[in-house]
Amino acid sequence: MPHILIVEDEAAIADTLVFALQGEGFTTTWLNLAEAALEYQQRTPADLLILDVGLPDISGFEACKRLRRFSEVPVIFLTARDAEIDRVVGLEIGADDYVVKPFSPREVAARVRAILKRMAPRAAEPIPVADPGGPFRVDAERVQIHYREQLLVLTRHEFRLLQALLAQPERVFAREQLLDALGVPADAGYERNIDSHIKSLRAKLRQVAADAEPIQTHRGLGYSYSPKSA
């Protein structure tokens, strides 16, 4: 069964997560320091990390940055902060989900199942291979996208979202359809994070071309790529 590494300094919270996850058939390890968790993951890789943001030694954000230097293991952040900027930062540095305290341990277990399900071989629906032309250049083999001849530094979620949008210019993708591009089941409760990923993508595109707006919002519908605005 999948093994879950819980990195949380509050014993009561960790106990509820251990109970809920083991009740779903997962095996678990609990550590209360980020440094110990990074060493553990290098030595005995877990299948998913549940990572508290406010840890005693280093922050969960810093721990995730360091983790991404050697591992693409899925990460769920736990935090007491619900500010949008915190959610955006967490997703931008490579987290897969973001849960705000207080939370339901059963909901966290459901999110763990959903993330592991999409990490399985059938993870994502095939995305049409297409050269978007214009200012974008997609290299699917190297998992890279250039914008106006500059390489974008993207998380794997940002890459797949932008790849999906670029493959079908002017098509309006609903959030549920963008979840398909990530391989996330529509019932995973992940829709709220699509907006954060899009916001992060736009910020990276504006660093290259501040006056362009290639990703268009269609209120109540979703998002599209507009070559005319790129």
Tens-place pLDDT, residues 91-115: 777 788 888 888 899 999 999 998 8
Domain presence at residue 129:
no
Helix (H) or strand (E) holding 124: none
Task: Name the residue with higher pLDDT: 165 or 95.
Answer: 165
Judgement on whether residues 141 and 197 belong to the same structural domain of the protein: yes
Q: Which of 85, 118, 151 is the last residue of a domain?
A: 118
Judgement on whether residues 186 and 106 belong to the same structural domain of the protein: no
Residue 216 has a pLDDT of 94
Domain presence at residue 126:
no
| Contact between residue 110 and residue 189 where contact means Cβ atoms under 8 Å apart | yes
Judgement on whether residues 94 and 196 belong to the same structural domain of the protein: no
Number of domain units in the chain: 2
Judgement on whether residues 109 and 145 belong to the same structural domain of the protein: no
Mean pLDDT, range 209-228, rounded to an integer: 91
- Name the residue with tokens 């991404």: 68
Judgement on whether residues 108 and 186 belong to the same structural domain of the protein: no
Kindly report the CATH number assigned to the domain that includes residue 144. 1.10.10.10
Which percentage of the chain shows pLDDT scores above 90? 52
Judgement on whether residues 114 and 145 belong to the same structural domain of the protein: no
Strands of the chain, DSSP E: 3-7, 27-31, 48-52, 75-79, 97-100, 136-139, 144-147, 150-151, 215-218, 222-225
**pTM of the predicted model, to two decimals?**
0.59
Domain presence at residue 166:
yes
Q: What domain range is 61 assigned to?
A: 3-118
Two tokens, residue 129: 């291979």
Task: Name the residue with higher pLDDT: 167 or 124.
Answer: 167
- The tens digit of pLDDT for each residue in 111-145 reads 999 888 877 644 444 444 445 568 999 998 888 99
Judgement on whether residues 96 and 62 belong to the same structural domain of the protein: yes
Judgement on whether residues 97 and 22 belong to the same structural domain of the protein: yes
Tell whether the torsion through CA atoms of 197, 199, 205 and 207 is positive or negative.
negative
pLDDT band at residue 26 using 50, 70 and 90 as cut-offs:
very high
C-alpha distances in Å from residue 12, one per residue of 6, 9, 15, 143: 12, 9, 5, 41
Judgement on whether residues 43 and 13 belong to the same structural domain of the protein: yes
- The tens digit of pLDDT for each residue in 36-73 reads 999 999 999 999 999 999 999 999 999 998 998 888 89
